[in-house]
Amino acid sequence: MSRFADPGTRVRLTGSRRCAGYGWRMTRSSGRSALVAVLGIVGVLALLAGAGLALLFGPQGHLQSKATRISGPGSAILGEGIEVDASSLPIPSGIGELTLDVSPVGHEALFVGTASQSDLDTYLLGAPYDVITSLPAGGTAQIRSVPGSDLPQSPEAQTFWQHRGAGAPGAKVSIVSARGSEASLVVMNRTPSNGVKADVVLTLTVGWSWATALVLMAVGAVALLIAIALAVRGRSARDGAPAVGAGSKHAAPGGGVPASTVLPGFDLPGSTAPSPDPGPAPAPGSATERAPVADTTGAGPSVVVPDAPQHSSPPG
């Protein structure tokens, strides 16, 4: 008999192929977790950077140092080789514009200019002036007085200034200050006279800082919202996935993962198929009872099938 003749036999398939989908699901879940982590980090960093930029420069895009008071009895206050310390600035060199804001203390009109030290030495020759020796931020400058008896000429008539500015009485005067510049600074009354007093503030202006801060905070918020949505979706998917065990379509009768799946129709070598249930035996003498068939192969004894008993009607 062919081993495939009996359609009632069964073959056993191992559960490795059936469970392969769980490995794919685990890989997808790990990828989602990594994406959530990356989006969360990017969102937090963008929010912090945007908030810091907004707090630092404000809506106007200005960052100012503390005011330093300068005052002297002479006709001018001289800062020799004034240099802006770029390392103290919170952004890379070359970004933004530095200005020197000088406000008079009182109602005098001020003149502020920068020039080479040699030009200023010639200009102030014979005039009394004061040299800054210490310029602490938020404090009062220390000065050294140079005696003289003459007043300098009008500063606005000179042509050697690198940067210059003049204001109305009581008005602030601002000039551009280059980073790393070693030019000397002079502050004096617009109409030369003895006695100069003013407050000096260094201002860094970055016009695009406010817009950049808003963009960074928006990007950070969107990244965090996407990360939260992905995390919630992944958690919902895990909670709704059927567990491999009792109640699962892959569960064995006693719980857990079954060792194999039984499919009918094939008889593999070495497999044993259970005998089909023959059902209840037919009653003797019934129409469903079959008579034994004689063995005609000659390999065994003959079986004689007796004739069924004949019942004749009694004579009338």
Q: What is the pTM of this model?
A: 0.54
pLDDT digits (tens, 9 = 90+) for 48-99: 988 888 888 888 888 888 889 999 999 999 988 776 666 666 666 667 778 8
pLDDT at 37: 87
pLDDT at 77: 94
Higher-confidence residue of 291 and 231: namely 231
Kindly tell me if the per-residue pLDDT of 2 is higher than 80: no
- The angle subtended at Cα 253 by Cα 252 and Cα 258, nearest 5°, is 15
Kindly tell me if the per-residue pLDDT of 150 is higher than 80: yes
3-class DSSP state for residue 54? Answer: helix
Mean pLDDT to the nearest integer, 123-142 = 90
pLDDT at 71: 92
- Distance in angstroms (rounded) separating the CA atoms of residues 163 and 177: 8
| Residue type for position 250 | H
- Distance in angstroms (rounded) separating the CA atoms of residues 76 and 197: 10
pLDDT digits (tens, 9 = 90+) for 165-175: 998 888 888 88
Kindly tell me if the per-residue pLDDT of 17 is higher than 50: no
pLDDT digits (tens, 9 = 90+) for 157-198: 999 998 899 988 888 888 876 555 568 899 999 999 999 999
pLDDT at 283: 56
Domain ranges of the chain: 20-57+211-240, 62-205
- The angle subtended at Cα 89 by Cα 223 and Cα 43, nearest 5°, is 5
- Distance in angstroms (rounded) separating the CA atoms of residues 224 and 231: 10
- % residues pLDDT > 70 (the chain): 60
- Distance in angstroms (rounded) separating the CA atoms of residues 7 and 52: 77
Kindly tell me if the per-residue pLDDT of 284 is higher than 70: no
Kindly tell me if the per-residue pLDDT of 154 is higher than 90: yes
205 is written with which tokens?
A: 């202006």
Where would I find the beta strands (DSSP E) of 47-109? 62-64, 68-72, 76-79, 97-104
Which of 70, 76, 71 lies closest to 193, judged by CA? 76
Kindly tell me if the per-residue pLDDT of 299 is higher than 50: no
Higher-confidence residue of 302 and 43: namely 43
pLDDT at 9: 46
Which of 111, 106, 197, 199 lies closest to 153, judged by CA? 111
Kindly tell me if the per-residue pLDDT of 227 is higher than 70: yes
Which of 157, 155, 219, 243 lies closest to 191, judged by CA? 155
- Distance in angstroms (rounded) separating the CA atoms of residues 195 and 9: 117
Kindly tell me if the per-residue pLDDT of 102 is higher than 80: yes
Mean pLDDT of the chain: 74
262 is written with which tokens?
A: 């039984």
Q: Do residues 100 and 178 lie in contact, with contact meaning Cβ atoms separated by under 8 Å?
A: no
3-class DSSP state for residue 117? Answer: helix
